Amino acid sequence: MTAVAAADLTAKDFKSDYSPVWCPGCGHYAVLSSATKALAELNVLPENVAVISGIGCSSRMPAYTSVYGFHGVHGRALAIATGLKVARLELTVIVAGGDGYSIGGNHFLHACRRNVDLTYIVMDNQVYGMTKGQASPTTPADWDKSKLTPHGTGVRPFHPLAVALASGANFIACCFAGDPNGTAKIVTEAVMHPGFSLVEVLSPCVTFQPGQREWKRQVHKTENEPTVDAGRAARRLLDDDGFYIGVLYVGDRPVYQPDLEGGASLADLEAEFAV
Ligand SMILES: Cc1ncc(C[n+]2csc(CCOP(=O)(O)OP(=O)(O)O)c2C)c(N)n1
Ligand code: SF4
């Protein structure tokens, strides 16, 4: 059999045979296309890539790709991905999730802080799509369309980019699902940049947040070059209207990678935990 060269692969080779069950018009379709396009541009083989997710519409991503995948439990994708990456340094590990920053919030902080070489693609639609439209941590305070919060949440939304910057993420960018080529380019850069990369994608939930169809008129590409200065990045975030598209910050912190040489072997660990 002829060996497949990574350079010959196209985005289609990174898609599985399963058809997504997302609602027609959901932004996640475009994010899947962007991610597979990025993988083709990265010249990697599918067997050297893993996509890890939790639970949510966005977290169906591993099933729709041809790479290795792990559909974990809600809020634990980053913990699973961290363990995989430190054990299998040669793999490209991508984490796919939604804006469920509540249950997984603590893991998010510590993934940024640890700076393991992961790329976290967050499909942010400011709502829990899969569980039929409850408010999420990024939902605007006055969103009153959920029966659980008929008067709005009344709570200030979580700001993932600011939290990532303050917590030590090494690459921070924001994209729009309606700009699949721009998103693919940024995902490619994020994977290539060492350390923990956050790629926030504004990905409309047309079913529970139909107003997000307007995002295509609101997003604007930044004219700023990415900065390595966290203070400058923070000031840009303070001035931002939430529709900034582009790479905000590229840090140069050392990547966390424990030295696995000389550690306990799998057989040692199995013996230790044998019951
Ligand atoms: C521990 C736990 N708590 C709650 C749930 C219920 N649950 C399933 S998906 C989900 C949120 C999904 O929203 P998001 O991550 O924003 O993805 P989307 O569906 O919007 O793409 C929740 C809360 C769960 N599966 N597990
Ligand atoms: S419920 Fe929303 S997030 Fe889920 S598939 Fe439908 S449009 Fe997409």
Q: What is the pLDDT of residue 2?
A: 62
Computed from CA positions of residues 215, 127, 102, 143, in that sequence, does the dihedral angle turn out positive or negative?
A: positive
pLDDT of residue 220: 96
Predicted local confidence at residue 262, as pLDDT: 72
Which residue's CA is the closest to the ligand 2 atom numbered 5? 22
* Nearest-angstrom CA–CA distance, 91 and 119: 12
Token duo for residue 198: 């956050």
Q: How much is the pLDDT for 261?
A: 76
- CB of 137 sitting under 6 A from ligand 2: no
In this structure, the chain runs to a length of: 275
Whether the CB of 123 sits within 6 Å of ligand 1: yes
Q: Please name the amino acid found at residue 91.
A: L
Question: The pTM is what?
Answer: 0.95
Residue nearest to atom 25 of ligand 1 (CA): 74
Cβ(98) to ligand 1 under 6 A? yes
Phi (first) and psi of residue 160, to 5 degrees: -60, -40
Distance CA 117, CA 86 (A): 9
pLDDT string in tens for the chain (275-residue length): 567 788 899 999 999 999 999 999 999 999 999 999 999 999 999 999 999 999 999 999 999 999 999 999 999 999 999 999 999 999 999 999 999 799 999 999 999 999 999 999 999 999 999 999 999 999 999 999 999 999 999 999 999 999 999 999 999 999 999 999 999 999 999 999 999 999 999 999 999 999 999 999 999 999 999 999 999 999 999 889 999 899 999 999 999 988 877 777 888 889 999 98
